[in-house]
């Protein structure tokens, strides 16, 4: 009977996994806007409406102009006679009245259509912008908003895209210059509130900024909103001139540098563009850069509301661009001050024949540009923006990108110093401030959880096998609060998707804003990382995980409701030992797939039922999600935590560093022959030798209750009976799990002298950095040569990878190959791992699972540490700019 039920459970899990990998992936809408492919010429072709549905956001228009202005927009026209019934082409143009008729007497201007990425580049939760098409009438009222593309994982499968469409429709009929915020409005302060999307707060706050800032930029440009007139700068008289290094050091000259790899091109010893720039109106800057005579000549030609800046540049690309050749427009650079943008034509250009400041670098091209606007002020910060088209190495397509560098004159060059500027706060900071009360409560909850577990020894001492209230009540309170407060209210549910994001951020680009955008998940992960190194994965998985808590409560409640006789508390150990590896396989598959396609990995990550349970709600999902969720919950009623034990990829990811936990559970020397704890272990983490597998242990603490229970622990029970029969007193139980001896035992011999610190460091370095022992020299000479050659090659591949000279796929392949090789070598030469704190020398024989966890995580830490050291010391920058390495790439 046991064999039949085990086979059934194995088949059930296999079917469940295959169902989740295929059915859940198929549930995604293939026609949605998630990572939707956009036309290659979308950012460059003057005819914007040939590529996007302009009619959708400006329904009353008959025709649209080409792109115009900086930032770019298109004008929307309607026939004056009201005849709007003519057939339209699929690209949004009128079949009869295309662009040729725009601006004629029979048409009237009714509004403007613009693409968000032509104006702003505000990243959302994914780190990528939400590409949005926006329509606005001639009064600045939004007529339509359509999301063309986004990369938000929560809107892939977690939340229907219809919610994003519903959110952006709230802007219809609203003025782009109004104060609009996500959340409750404040009418008394003129603030309009918008309904957010539950579980996607960061996304909607970012989209709110995208729509309003894009609309405001165009509205100011076309005259709907009066431009902001800033007080003009009054310069102090500073005697003398500065050399180039001094100008750069005090910020009078700034540098904007873009490498070729940032543009999707192969690494080059020359940057893509390297621009130095500065404000020539400031006397000390102008005289130092131009010299006295040239500076005075320039200032005499400028009108009161005109400003001169200089640019010198080198690199493989020009800042002038092709627009200069076609129409005298410098379309590669512009100046932005707040929401105002200033572009340059040939009439705004003057030759810069040389730099007077000593020590100036060599350059390939130069220019003086004149900003002709009373709204620009040198007293306030402004940005030089370089615009370009980035090549996508995978698709070959191009995307519009911009790079900006802020410039603000030093305070001592301005009368009265710099004016006070209130810059818009970052999105993540807004989220933290709006939820400060919940953040404090969540921190208290984390503190309470850590404190309760830290006091576990006192709790288990007060408990017995028959009465576990002291241990169970705090745990039940944490489970209930985790489900209700953390899961359903705060939506703070850690996921494997965040682990995948970490890997990609480490390899590609680390952005703190991405992780700070959700305060509760951010704080939860800090706690999880610390607790995993303290106690292993069991603190989170067993006590605090919202879904794990729900599954555990379902199991216990089902038993109380009469299903206890049908419940299978444990599987046969041999089947459990096989099934537990499924979750590690799931984690490995997700990690590998994420480097091929993060979108596909996000879909496969729906094997986690977390989004369905807490973020979205079962009632909001399609049938594959509902079925999958229902099957798991029903299984949880009959088996104790089947998902946590056998399927959870997050649990597998946390299990790997659990090998390094500092404090384990207490054991006795009799725990091997005695199986009392093993029989009752709900995690089935205790083997026949009595050792606890920290990767599988969920820290239920039942074994620790037995550890001090003189009626349930066989060694203690025998000692209690012997003393009672002999009439000897029952002394308290010590921390070692035994009765304190009646007669004090003689002091133990003095411990051996501890190693000196240099000796300890040397031994640790040798143990962790070198997998070989002297046994390696007993191998054939060819094998020894291959071993050391492989070591050198792997090290060199890592250095080239850190320098950005080879792709992450090659790095990961070598990292995996080296880890497998090192694991095999260590099992032959150093078949042991540490047990307990990393500063100790308590070594134990390693199983293959122990060694795999140790090697994988150790190599990850070493790689990260070396990368940070090389980055901090400048070695990385040196390698990246070393042309002599090109032949190795």
Tokens 């133990």, residue located: 748
User: What are the tens digits of pLDDT across the range 473-492?
Assistant: 999 999 999 999 999 999 89
pLDDT of residue 27: 46
pLDDT class of 349 with cuts at 50, 70, 90 = very high
Which of 106-115, 249-258, 594-603 shows the lowest per-residue confidence on average (mean pLDDT)?
594-603
pLDDT class of 378 with cuts at 50, 70, 90 = very high
Instruction: Give dist(CA 121, CA 136) in Å, integer.
Output: 19
Strands 142-149 and 832-834: unpaired
pLDDT class of 867 with cuts at 50, 70, 90 = confident
Which of 43-57, 125-139, 750-764 shows the lowest per-residue confidence on average (mean pLDDT)?
750-764
Which of 66-70, 96-100, 632-636 shows the lowest per-residue confidence on average (mean pLDDT)?
96-100
pLDDT of residue 105: 66
Nearest to 537 by CA among 640, 664, 641, 633: 664
pLDDT of residue 100: 45
Instruction: Give dist(CA 355, CA 366) in Å, integer.
Output: 10
Q: At residue 402, does pLDDT exceed 60?
A: yes
pLDDT of residue 324: 57
User: What are the tens digits of pLDDT across the range 269-279?
Assistant: 789 999 999 99
Instruction: Give dist(CA 346, CA 369) in Å, integer.
Output: 9
pLDDT of residue 315: 92
Q: What is the 8-class DSSP label of residue 110? A: E
Other C-beta atoms closer than 10 Å to the C-beta of 419 total 14
* Percent share of the chain, pLDDT over 70: 81
Q: Report yes or no: 671 and 677 within 8 Å, Cβ to Cβ.
A: yes
pLDDT of residue 279: 96
Q: At residue 282, does pLDDT exceed 90?
A: yes
User: If you average pLDDT over each of 115-119, 442-446, 709-713, 863-867, which comes out highest?
Assistant: 442-446
pLDDT class of 52 with cuts at 50, 70, 90 = very high
Helix (H, G, I), strand (E, B), or coil: what is residue 165? helix
pLDDT of residue 565: 84
pLDDT of residue 85: 46
Other C-beta atoms closer than 10 Å to the C-beta of 309 total 23
User: What are the tens digits of pLDDT across the range 547-595?
Assistant: 999 999 999 999 889 888 887 767 788 888 889 999 999 998 998 888 7
Q: Report yes or no: 719 and 740 within 8 Å, Cβ to Cβ.
A: no
What is the pLDDT of the chain when averaged over all its residues? 82
Give the DSSP per-residue string, 53-106: -HHHH-TT-SEE---BTTTTBEEEEEETT----S-B-TTS-BTTTSGGGTTSTT
User: What are the tens digits of pLDDT across the range 463-474?
Assistant: 998 999 999 999
pLDDT of residue 3: 44
Q: What average pLDDT score do residues 247-259 get?
A: 94
* Percent share of the chain, pLDDT over 90: 36
Tokens 């927009």, residue located: 73
Instruction: Give dist(CA 154, CA 197) in Å, integer.
Output: 11
pLDDT class of 174 with cuts at 50, 70, 90 = very high
pLDDT of residue 86: 43
Task: Give first-to-last CA distance, the chain, whole Å.
Answer: 61
Helix (H, G, I), strand (E, B), or coil: what is residue 240? coil
The number of C-alpha atoms within 13 Å of 18 and in the hemisphere containing its C-beta is 6
| Residues linked to residue 341 through DSSP beta bridges, in sequence order | 336
The first and second tokens of residue 127, run together, are 């780190």
pLDDT of residue 698: 92
The number of C-alpha atoms within 13 Å of 832 and in the hemisphere containing its C-beta is 11
């Amino acid at each position: 009977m046991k064999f039949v039920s085990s086979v059934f459970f194995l088949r059930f899990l296999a079917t469940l996994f295959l169902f989740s990998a295929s059915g859940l992936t198929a549930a995604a809408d293939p026609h949605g806007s998630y990572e939707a492919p956009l036309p290659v010429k979308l950012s460059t072709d003057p005819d914007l409406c040939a590529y996007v549905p302009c009619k959708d956001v400006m329904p009353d228009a008959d025709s649209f102009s080409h792109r115009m202005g900086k930032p770019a927009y298109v004008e929307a026209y309607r026939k004056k006679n009201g005849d709007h019934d003519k057939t339209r082409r699929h690209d949004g143009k009128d079949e009869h009245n295309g662009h040729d008729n725009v601006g004629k007497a029979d048409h009237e201007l009714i509004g403007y259509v613009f693409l968000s990425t032509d104006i702003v580049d505000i990243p959302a939760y994914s780190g990528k912008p939400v590409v949005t098409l926006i329509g606005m009438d001639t009064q600045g009222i939004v007529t339509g908003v359509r999301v063309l593309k986004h990369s938000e994982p929560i809107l892939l499968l977690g939340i229907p895209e219809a919610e994003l469409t519903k959110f952006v429709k709230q802007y219809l009929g609203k003025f782009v210059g109004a104060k609009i915020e996500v959340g409750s409005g404040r009418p008394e302060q003129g603030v309009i509130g918008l309904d957010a999307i539950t579980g996607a707060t960061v996304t909607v706050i970012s989209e709110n900024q995208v729509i309003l800032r894009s609309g405001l930029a165009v509205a100011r440009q076309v005259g709907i909103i009066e431009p902001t007139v800033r007080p003009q700068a009054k310069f102090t008289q500073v005697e003398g001139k500065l050399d180039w290094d001094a100008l750069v050091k005090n910020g009078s000259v700034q540098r904007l540098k873009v490498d070729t790899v940032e543009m999707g091109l192969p690494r080059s010893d020359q940057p893509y563009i390297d621009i130095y720039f500065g404000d020539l109106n400031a006397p000390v800057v102008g005289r130092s850069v131009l010299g006295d005579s040239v500076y005075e000549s320039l200032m005499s030609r400028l009108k009161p509301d005109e400003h001169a800046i200089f640019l010198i540049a080198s690199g493989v690309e020009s800042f002038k661009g092709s627009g200069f050749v076609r129409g005298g427009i410098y379309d590669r650079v512009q100046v932005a001050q707040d929401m105002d943008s200033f572009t340059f034509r040939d009439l705004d250009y003057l030759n810069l024949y040389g730099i007077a400041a000593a020590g100036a670098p060599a350059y390939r091209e130069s220019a003086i540009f004149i900003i002709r606007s009373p709204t620009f002020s040198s007293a306030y910060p402004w940005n030089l923006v370089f615009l370009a088209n980035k090549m996508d190495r995978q698709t070959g397509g191009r995307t519009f990108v911009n790079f900006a560098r802020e410039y603000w004159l030093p305070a001592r060059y301005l009368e009265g110093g710099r004016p006070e500027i209130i810059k818009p706060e970052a999105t993540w900071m807004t989220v933290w401030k709006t939820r400060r009360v919940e953040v404090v409560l969540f921190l208290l909850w984390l503190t309470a959880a850590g404190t309760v577990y830290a006091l576990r020894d006192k709790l288990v001492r007060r408990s017995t096998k028959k009465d576990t209230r002291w241990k169970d009540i705090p745990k039940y309170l944490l489970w209930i609060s985790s489900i209700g407060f953390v899961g359903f209210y705060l939506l703070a549910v850690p996921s494997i998707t965040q682990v995948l994001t970490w890997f990609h951020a480490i390899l590609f680009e680390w952005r703190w804003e991405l992780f700070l955008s959700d305060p509760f998940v951010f704080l939860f992960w800090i706690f999880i990382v610390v607790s995993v190194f303290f106690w292993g994965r069991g603190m989170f998985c067993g006590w605090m995980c919202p879904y794990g808590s729900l599954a555990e409560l379902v199991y216990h409640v089902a038993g109380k409701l009469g299903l206890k006789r049908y419940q299978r508390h444990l599987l046969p150990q041999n089947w459990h030992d096989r099934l537990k590896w499924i979750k590690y396989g799931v984690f490995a598959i997700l990690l590998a797939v994420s480097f091929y396609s993060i979108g596909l990995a996000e879909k496969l990550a729906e094997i986690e039922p977390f989004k369905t349970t807490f973020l979205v709600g079962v009632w909001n999902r399609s049938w594959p999600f509902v079925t999958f969720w229902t099957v798991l919950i029903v299984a949880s009623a009959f088996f104790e935590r089947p998902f946590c034990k056998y399927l959870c990829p997050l649990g597998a990811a946390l299990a790997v560093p659990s090998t390094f936990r500092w404090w384990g559970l207490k054991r006795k020397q009799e725990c091997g022959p005695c199986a009392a704890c093993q029989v009752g272990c709900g995690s089935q983490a205790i083997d026949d030798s009595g050792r606890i597998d920290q990767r599988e242990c969920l820290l239920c603490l039942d074994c620790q209750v037995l550890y001090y229970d003189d009626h349930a622990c066989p060694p203690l029970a025998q000692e209690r009976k012997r003393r009672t029969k002999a009439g000897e007193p029952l002394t308290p139980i010590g921390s070692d799990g035994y009765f304190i001896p009646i007669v004090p035992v003689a002091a133990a011999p003095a411990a051996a002298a501890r190693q000196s610190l240099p000796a300890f460091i040397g031994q640790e370095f040798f143990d962790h950095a070198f997998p070989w022992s002297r046994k390696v020299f007993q191998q054939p000479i060819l094998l020894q040569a291959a071993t050391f050659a492989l070591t050198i090659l792997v090290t060199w591949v890592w250095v080239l990878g850190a320098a950005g000279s080879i792709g992450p796929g090659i790095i990961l392949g070598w990292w995996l190959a080296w880890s497998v090789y090192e694991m095999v070598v260590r099992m032959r030469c150093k078949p042991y791992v540490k047990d307990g704190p990393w500063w100790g020398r308590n070594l134990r024989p390693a199983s293959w699972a122990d060694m795999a966890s140790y090697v994988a995580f150790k190599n990850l830490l070493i790689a990260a540490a070396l990368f940070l050291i090389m980055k901090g010391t400048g070695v990385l920058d040196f390698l990246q700019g070393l042309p002599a390495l090109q032949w190795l790439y």
